[in-house]
Amino acid sequence: MIVILSKGITGRDRALIRSWLEERSFTCREQTLGDDAVIGAAGKGTADIRELALLPGVERVAATSKPYELASRETKSADTIVSVSAAPSGPAVKIGGSRITIIAGPCAVESREQIFETAARVRESGAVLLRGGAYKPRTSPYAFQGLGMQGLELMKAAGEAEGMPIVTEVVSPELADAMKDLTDMFQIGARNMQNFELLKKAGALKKPVLLKRGPSATIEEWLLSAEYLLASGANGVVLCERGIRTFETYTRNTLDISAIPVVKRLSHLPVIVDPSHAVGIRAMVSSAGLAAVAAGADGLTVEVHPKPDTALSDGPQSLYPAQFERLMRDIEALAPVVGKELLRTPRPAVLPAAPSPAAGRRVPGGPDTPPSGAAEHPVAFAGESGAYAEQALMRAFGEDAPRRACPSFSAVFDSLLDGSSAFAVVPVENSLTGSIHENYDLFLRYPDIALAGEIKLRIVHCLIAREGASLDTIVEVRSHSQGFAQCGDFLKKHHWVLEPYYNTAAAVASLLGEEGADRTRAAAIAGEAAAKAYGLHILKEGIETNPLNYTRFVIAARKGENGEAPAPPSLGSVRANKASLIFSVSDEPGALFACLKILSGRGINLSKLESRPIQGRPWQYQFYVDLRLPETGEDFSRALAALRERTGDFRYLGAYRGAV
């Protein structure tokens, strides 16, 4: 059982609890689980849990039906997010939650040139953790065993150069102490999954651990190995499915895709997949990796080598850098479908990028500096807790990002202008109902606000109500007008009164104010997160007319001195690939065509062109334009300069990293 201790418990009460348990033949081990200090009580002892819960200093007692108590979801219902950082004060890479984390690198460190080149290539493609073996357990005693501590030092240096924490395999308890200051995350390999002395030693060093599943291990055995690590004090455990041994011989192992949802139901620990070892054939790695993401994996660890054909180990399963880049693009496209976002982290600053003549725009790929105090200020969104905008915010900035809920879109922009928010997340377009013109118009009203990024969120609408309500008791349904429009076919089947609200989550919150008979007469349309936020019930899920229902959110911020908004910390110096403009043209034949010719002549592709009436000027129109940036900033700068001369009311909204 797990005893969760009260905050501020005294040493005397802590000793009393341990003594009480030990008198009843339990073995006690203290550790921290999330934000809670806990005592794990194992053994064949017996105790009255009600009596234990009454002891001073006991917050609650969690008794599980599983032998892996600390790893069990019965003990902790919320998903654990594991942080890995290269330094205590450095930016952390987080594994778990709403984002997909990619670990990449060679099977083994072979030379300085090899590990530095690989680190640079995988970082450029979007990997955030560097993998590689310094000590390699090999089946043959004559195979390459790794460079040892020299290889680890090279890998650490490569990771620091690219701003990536490193993860490497520890193969014996004796080496763990020597490696602890050079690695940021220990990996326990498949062959060592049940090396219990190694598990205890690695856990005691209080670092995060990546635990691979053994080639013949059951899921319960795998989770019990995680229990060893947690019980020994590991600072977070990430489970890694890497294929199991079966009778099949066409692949190196058999990737157990079903293990991902099974483990996520049994345990709160994040689960990633190693498709390289699972299939062992380069041509199949990307397909297996995408399947893992679709099945709910929190990330992948992928072997990449600049010259796989000459690799000293696992060359046939290592991707070329170009193949890895394609895989990353595919993951970025797939992520919104499964309700996640690809995690990106800031790269270390290099030489300052030269300012561009085009309104001082950020040169694609150049370093960005967030505004002073950006880390302390919250991110603004319109609505209540559980709103879709809040979900997009967490995808972009992380689950623990400070945030400010605003009553309206204009209040969101005001918070950016007065400095009370560093960034904001606002919707601008839905794939079913089109543009959200109110927010486009706000960018015109607030010329000091610019675009800094983009998030694409899949929208799954639910019909939400109080306990006891049913489709037959409902008389009135509340939601945002966009929610009604996106669920039109479902609503046509019923004769409910529709009451618009400024936000879907606010509509859900309003249900809590209903009492008596009215409790079951009203329902709301919103997302699952809103139902959970207010403890309400989902009567029907997926009621949107078209399942291909996505909303495009933009990240906005106040412009810096160069006329650009700073990139969010989660994007850092990731290359901008998109820009947005607003302009009007004169009322003459070919005026718009001339503007488009300026762009096409420089190889700039449009992804959106929409006309809107100009407020206060009847029968005159302006155009909203989204475009893909060319490879060189010079072409874009010249195109902007030409457009400024050819158009009226020209407004440059910013360059940013666009969603796929």
Neighbour tally for 546: CB within 10 Å:
11
The whole-angstrom separation of Cα 342 and Cα 488 is 31
* Per annotation, catalytic residue among 551, 583, 623, 636: 551
Would you call 409 a catalytic residue per the annotation?
no
CB 604 within 8 A of CB 634: no
Tokens of 387: 């709103």
Q: What is the DSSP string of 116-167?
A: HHHHHHHHHHT--EEE-BSS---SSTTS----THHHHHHHHHHHHHHT--EE
Q: Torsion angle, CA of 324/127/270/204, rounded to 10 degrees?
A: 120
Q: Give the chain's radius of gyration (CA, Å).
A: 27
Tokens of 220: 């319960």
Give the β-pairing of 648-656 and 578-584: antiparallel
The whole-angstrom separation of Cα 18 and Cα 29 is 9
Q: How many residues does this entry show for the chain?
A: 660
Tokens of 164: 């990536």
The whole-angstrom separation of Cα 63 and Cα 202 is 26
Query: What number of H helices and E strands is found in the chain?
Result: 20, 30
**428, HSE (Cβ side, Cα atoms, 13 Å):** 23
Residue 633 burial (C-beta neighbours within 10 Å; 0-12, 13-18, 19+): buried
With CA atoms as reference, report the closest residue to 263 among 291, 234, 203, 221: 221
CB 256 within 8 A of CB 282: no
Q: What residues contact 468, with CB distance under 8 A and at least 6 apart?
A: 519, 520
* Per annotation, catalytic residue among 553, 583, 623, 636: 553
Q: What is the DSSP string of 406-435?
A: ESSHHHHHHHHHTTS-SEEEEEEEETTTEE
Give the β-pairing of 2-5 and 58-62: antiparallel
429: left (phi over 0), alpha (psi -120 to 50) or beta: beta
Q: What one-letter code names the amino acid at 506?
A: A
C-alpha 157: how far from chain center:
26
7-13 contacts, C-beta under 8 A, 24 or more apart: 7/59, 9/37, 9/57, 10/57, 13/55, 13/56, 13/57
CB 239 within 8 A of CB 269: yes
The whole-angstrom separation of Cα 389 and Cα 386 is 8
- DSSP-assigned beta bridge partners for residue 32: 37
Is 399 strand, coil or helix? coil
**Residue position matching structure tokens 């984002």:** 99
Would you call 551 a catalytic residue per the annotation?
yes
Q: Active-site positions?
A: 551, 553
